Amino acid sequence: MRLGIIGLPNSGKTTIFNALTGQNLQTTASSSGQFEVHTAVVNVPDARLDALIKLYNPKKIAYATITFADIAGLDKGISEGGLKGQMRNELSQVDGFVHVVRAFKDDTVPHPYETINPQRDLEMIEAEFLLNDMVTVEKRLQKIADDIRIKGKKLEAQYADELALFEAMKAHLDAEKPLRDFGLTPDQEKSLRGYGFLTLKPMLIVVNLGDEAQDPEKLITFPHKRTKLVGLQGKLEAELAQFDNDEDRAMFMQEYGISELSASKVIRLAYELMEIQSFFTVGHDECRAWSIAIGATAPEAAGVIHSDLQKGFIRAEVMYFQDLLDAGSEAAVKQAGKFSLQGKDYVVRDGDIVHIRFNV
């Protein structure tokens, strides 16, 4: 999963990036005007995998990972005529957004629009994304119209479903509504993946707070689907991410009333937002966590591990991680009748331990 961290200049995007990744990048806004992207891959914390590691003592450990991309250069007016080049590619290719909105006051870091107004800043970037999506829809509608005009009306039937969909999407965007609220079917959403619609992507709104914690819901109203809202004390969280000693970090968190590190919180919320869960493969050679969509079947889980396993899928050996921990061994799980062989229709649960039987 790749998440793009976005926001206006001086919103604290890079501070949040540092808090999430443990990096220590310079947090002052670039004055070069150049488009920049910084990326980092982080492990997904998972106490279940930690427990399995203790049980198996494997030679190799592999946590699930998330890539965070700190994407600079967003501001009012960027979408006139549609986004282009590297910025369009970066924004289109992420699976979702972490939208950092400034709520802190700091005279040494001037706001580009002078006043602190989280609602305005959020809506400003969302309006740019709406405009970009509208340009994309209009270009596609024009392309369909040109094809029918040049090649004849016999193409109208071929384009009927797509034309109806794009015209409905245009009306939706004209009403200043993001595509997250449009209600696409799974098949429709799959057909649109190549367009990289920005208002279709899930979005976690991070309100970058000052020294004192505030309720983000009192600062922002954004009642749209596939969005979540969280408040973080960015500067403080970035400092916490730099601690090497867990005890010192815990004391610091207790002093400031922080119960969960921003990295864990954002990843947990991102999993909920993206409707992703984890399953595990275990053994003395390797214990590993894998990310998969909620509702995925056993063959799809096999494909996450390796495409050959999905092609040659026979069945899956399945046990639940808590059953294994309670029993103490795989043999004890089988003896307790909590080990099963599942076929192609089995829907993988969060926390399943899966071994794929296959033949290629």
How is 301-326 classified by DSSP, letter by letter?
HHHHH-HHHHHTEEEEEEEEHHHHHH
Return the pLDDT at 22: 87
Query: Checking DSSP bridges between strand 340-342 and strand 313-320, what pairing results, if any?
Result: antiparallel
| Strand partners for 313 | 358
pLDDT above 70 for 34:
no
Residues 28 and 156 in one domain: no
Residues 160 and 304 in one domain: no
In a domain, 56, yes or no: no
Mean pLDDT, residues 41-56: 95
Q: Which of 176, 195, 214 is the last residue of a domain?
A: 195
Q: State the Cα–Cα distance between residues 193 and 264, nearest whole angstrom.
A: 28
> Average pLDDT over the chain, rounded to whole?
91
Q: Count of H helices and E strands in the chain? A: 13, 12
In a domain, 281, yes or no: no
In a domain, 51, yes or no: no
pLDDT above 60 for 60:
yes
CA 183 centroid distance within chain: 19
For Cα atoms 322, 287, 342, give the angle at the middle one, nearest 5 degrees: 60
In a domain, 260, yes or no: yes
pLDDT above 90 for 256:
no
CATH of the domain at 310: 3.10.20.30
Angle, helix 234-241 to helix 246-255, in steps of 10 degrees: 160
Residues 190 and 206 in one domain: no
> Among 111-120, 240-249, 269-278, 345-354, which is the least confidently predicted range?
240-249
Span 289-338, pLDDT tens digits: 999 999 999 999 999 999 999 999 999 999 999 999 999 999 999 999 99
Q: Which structural domain range is residue 153 located in? A: 130-195
Q: State the Cα–Cα distance between residues 96 and 31, nearest whole angstrom.
A: 27
Confidence band (pLDDT; 50, 70, 90) for 33? low
Residues 103 and 11 in one domain: yes
Mean pLDDT, residues 32-59: 89
Return the pLDDT at 29: 54
CATH of the domain at 244: 3.40.50.300
Residues 85 and 210 in one domain: yes
Q: State the Cα–Cα distance between residues 308 and 295, nearest whole angstrom.
A: 21
For tokens 């998330």, name the residue.
66
Q: State the Cα–Cα distance between residues 137 and 134, nearest whole angstrom.
A: 5
Return the pLDDT at 56: 96
Residues 21 and 89 in one domain: yes
Q: Which of 162, 195, 228 is the last residue of a domain?
A: 195
Mean pLDDT, residues 23-51: 81
Residues 109 and 212 in one domain: yes
For tokens 């039987």, name the residue.
357
pLDDT above 60 for 88:
yes
| Token representation of residue 296 | 């995925």
Return the pLDDT at 31: 44
pLDDT above 70 for 255:
yes
pLDDT above 50 for 32:
no
pTM over 0.75: yes
Span 216-241, pLDDT tens digits: 999 999 999 999 999 998 888 888 88
Mean pLDDT, residues 186-204: 94
| Token representation of residue 129 | 């994304």
Return the pLDDT at 70: 94
Q: Which regions of 93-169 does DSSP assign to beta strands (E)?
A: 96-102
Confidence band (pLDDT; 50, 70, 90) for 116? very high
In a domain, 85, yes or no: yes
Q: State the Cα–Cα distance between residues 117 and 124, nearest whole angstrom.
A: 11
Residues 91 and 228 in one domain: yes
In a domain, 11, yes or no: yes
Residues 176 and 209 in one domain: no
Return the pLDDT at 91: 93
- Provide the domain count of the chain: 3
Residues 34 and 71 in one domain: yes
Highest mean pLDDT: which of 154-168, 204-218, 327-341?
A: 327-341
Q: Which of 146, 170, 195 is the last residue of a domain?
A: 195
Question: For residue 314, how many other CB atoms are within 10 A of its CB?
Answer: 14
Residues 325 and 310 in one domain: yes
Write the burial class of residue 115 (CB in 10 Å: 0-12 exposed, 13-18 middle, 19+ buried): exposed
In a domain, 84, yes or no: yes
pLDDT above 90 for 261:
no
103: phi then psi, degrees, rounded to nearest 5:
-130, 5
Q: State the Cα–Cα distance between residues 111 and 9, nearest whole angstrom.
A: 8
Please choose, from the candidates 99, 104, 336, the residue with its C-alpha nearest in 3D space to the C-alpha of residue 198.
Answer: 99
Q: State the Cα–Cα distance between residues 70 and 39, nearest whole angstrom.
A: 6
Mean pLDDT, residues 83-92: 85
Mean pLDDT, residues 43-66: 96
Give how far Cα 347 sits from Cα of 292, 333, 344, Å: 11, 20, 9
Q: In what order do the strands lie in the sheet with 286-293?
A: 60-62, 286-293, 276-281, 352-358, 313-320, 340-342
Return the pLDDT at 75: 87
In a domain, 124, yes or no: no
Highest mean pLDDT: which of 26-40, 87-101, 255-269?
A: 87-101
pLDDT above 90 for 4:
yes
Please choose, from the candidates 236, 193, 228, 226, the residue with its C-alpha nearest in 3D space to the C-alpha of residue 94.
Answer: 193
288 touches 280 (CB < 8 A) = yes
Residues 242 and 325 in one domain: no
Query: Checking DSSP bridges between strand 286-293 and strand 276-281, what pairing results, if any?
Result: antiparallel
Return the pLDDT at 76: 86
Please state whether 81 falls in left (phi above 0), alpha (psi between -120 and 50) or beta.
Answer: left
Better-scored residue on pLDDT, 257 or 159 = 159
Percent of the chain surpassing pLDDT 70: 98
238 touches 130 (CB < 8 A) = no
Question: For residue 339, how many other CB atoms are within 10 A of its CB?
Answer: 19
